[in-house]
Amino acid sequence: MEKENVRIDKWLWAARFFKTRSLAQDAVERGRVRIGGEPVKPARAVKMNDRIMIDNGSDRWEVIVAAISGSRGPAPVARTLYFETDESIARRENDKAARRLYPEPSMDIKGRPTKRDRRAMERVGEE
């Protein structure tokens, strides 16, 4: 599992933060991945004990690199590549609770109303 000079995008893919390596590379290029608070380029090598902040759109993690690997393996092995900080775990739990308690209002919108829905809305407007 130990391998030197692994690119950040390859490590993120191997640690299963992103489904494909190209998604990991795109996130790094957009500045959603930071090492030590600084945005990095996809070719940046990962080192042991690097503090990485990762935002994949739905979740945000703050992890510390525990091992370096450039090959994607099973999920239990991928979890051994990093340690998640306590603050990150608490923040993700709070975000999960907030999503459960306050669902996105647009989730109820199913698209264009049917003829039956339109007539129901007109009846409500007349009253």
Q: Is the pLDDT of residue 74 over 70?
A: yes
Spatial strand order of the sheet with 38-39 comes to: 38-39, 33-35, 51-55, 60-65, 82-84
Residue 71 exposure: Cα atoms within 13 Å on the Cβ side = 5
Q: What is the pLDDT of residues 78-126, one digit of tens each?
A: 999 999 999 999 999 988 888 888 777 766 777 888 899 889 888 887 7
Q: How far apart are CA 114 and CA 107, in angstroms?
A: 17
State the average pLDDT over residues 16-29: 93
Q: From 3.50.50.60, 3.10.290.10, 3.40.50.1170, 3.20.20.100, which CATH number describes the 8-125 domain?
A: 3.10.290.10
Q: What is the mean pLDDT of the chain?
A: 88
The reported pTM is 0.75
DSSP string, the chain: ---SS-BHHHHHHHTTSSSSHHHHHHHHHTT-EEETTEE--TTPBP-TT-EEEEE-SS-EEEEEE----SS---HHHHGGGEEE-HHHHHHHHHHHHHHHHS--GGGG--SSPPHHHHHHHHHHHH-
Taking 70 as the threshold, does the pLDDT of residue 29 lie above it? yes
